[in-house]
């Protein structure tokens, strides 16, 4: 195995690529009394269309990646959650737009739990009866999300910002789309994307890296195969699809999400753009930024207000949201503040404080084995090594953030989604 030593972080990571194409990353921390394993595939809610091994394009229903994640916990031996719980593991999974991940944490029985994880994720087992039952369960989950203003305003924003990119499609799909899912669809998607060369295994804690590799070689296929070629749709325009959208729901105060549509990072540059984007959020609307104080004192936001940089293959954006009696005023203030910062710059002392705070937060997150493994996996899929973030971070200057502000924070790239109280649509302001 290759050992990489990250002296700035005090981390040692063992890496090995198996003959079947699976990348294994093991962050050895002997001082920890627990272990965490994360087994992920580069396949998520946005991967709706792909070319199969026979050369034909396959269109799948929205929500199939999420549905597949649910059904992978079924095995011929029973429910995997119960099997792993009996062996002392806490396990779960998630599906996002571009990734599906399965994981567990334990303080005993690590090797047996890892064997179980690798086995059930790589060995699909679906029946028509179990699929029919799951359709009812997920349909209920979808209906619950439709009643959640935070979920609704997020997808309203995605549909407003993106015209073609499938990030605008709900990861869970709709009741109509999941009704089209069959065992055959699930098997076909598993075959296309749950292949070792399209996956990564990240482990952290008090573990033996050689044993991790040995178990993966024993359980997983010895060779790779054909990977589905994904189609993410037509070229996305620079500007947003719609600048404003609103929807009435049972809320007492308007809930909003403000989006700034960015430019995807070039290959191998996503980590740096992520760090610049995070700093841009801190500068523009972070809790230590002048704008936050101004909006708070004017009663336009409350303590729930916050924002992030987000990106997946083919898209990148900033978003900020919360509750406000006048979301349009918040949007206008954010754009105006971006323009002011470009003209006048930032207070050097504030810049230093924000940068130190951001770096400290990233280092503290490494205390979490879960956060560490997920970051390692996501950055591996982007072709980058997450533990090089200290060197990357040190190279960032105010001019990098200013350049992003100038390019991104312009009216044609800004969208606002609002969930407002019933009977108030069309109002400029809510008191």
Could you give the count of Cα atoms lying within 13 Å of 197 in the half-sphere of its Cβ? 12
Give the Cα separation of 226 and 71 in Å (integer). Answer: 23
- Catalytic site positions: 69
Secondary structure, 3-state, 405-426: HHHHCCHHHEEEEEEEECCCCC
């Amino acid at each position: 195995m290759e050992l990489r030593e990250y002296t700035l972080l005090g981390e040692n990571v063992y890496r090995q690529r198996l003959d079947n194409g699976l990348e294994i990353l093991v962050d050895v921390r002997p001082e920890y009394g627990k272990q965490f394993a994360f087994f992920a595939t580069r396949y998520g809610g946005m991967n709706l269309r792909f070319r199969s091994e026979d050369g034909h394009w396959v269109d799948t229903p929205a929500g199939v990646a999420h549905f597949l994640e649910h059904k992978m916990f079924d095995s011929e031996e029973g429910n995997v959650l119960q099997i792993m719980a009996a062996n002392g593991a806490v396990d779960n999974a998630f599906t996002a737009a571009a990734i599906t991940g399965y994981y567990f944490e334990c303080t005993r029985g690590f090797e047996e739990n890892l064997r179980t994880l690798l086995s059930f994720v790589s060995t699909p087992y679906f029946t028509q009866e179990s699929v029919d039952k799951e359709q009812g369960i997920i349909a209920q989950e979808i209906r619950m999300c439709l009643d959640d203003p935070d979920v609704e305003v997020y997808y309203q924003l995605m549909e407003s910002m993106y015209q073609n990119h499938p990030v605008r499609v709900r990861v869970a799909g709709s009741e109509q789309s999941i009704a089209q899912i069959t065992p055959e669809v699930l098997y076909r998607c598993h075959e296309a994307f749950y292949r070792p060369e399209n996956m990564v295994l990240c482990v952290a804690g008090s573990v033996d890296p050689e044993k991790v590799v040995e178990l993966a070689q024993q359980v997983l296929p010895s060779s790779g195969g054909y990977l589905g070629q994904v189609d993410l749709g037509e070229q996305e325009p620079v500007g947003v699809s719609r600048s404003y959208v609103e929807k009435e729901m049972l809320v007492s105060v308007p809930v909003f999400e403000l989006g700034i549509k960015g430019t995807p990072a070039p290959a191998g540059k996503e980590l740096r753009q992520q760090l610049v984007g995070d700093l841009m959020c801190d500068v523009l609307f972070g809790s230590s930024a002048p704008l936050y104080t101004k909006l708070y004192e004017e009663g336009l936001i409350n303590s729930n207000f916050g924002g992030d940089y987000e990106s997946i293959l083919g898209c990148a954006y900033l978003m900020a949201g919360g509750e406000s009696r006048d979301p349009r005023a918040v949007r206008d203030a954010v754009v105006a503040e971006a323009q002011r910062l470009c003209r006048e710059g930032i207070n050097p002392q504030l810049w230093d404080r924000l940068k130190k705070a951001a770096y400290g937060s990233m280092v503290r997150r490494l205390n979490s084995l879960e956060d560490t493994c997920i970051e390692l996996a996501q950055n591996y899929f982007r072709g980058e090594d997450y533990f090089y973030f200290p060197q990357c971070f040190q190279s960032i200057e105010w001019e990098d953030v200013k350049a992003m502000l100038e390019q991104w924070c312009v009216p044609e790239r800004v969208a606002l989604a609002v969930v407002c109280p019933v009977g108030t649509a069309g109002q400029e302001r809510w008191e």
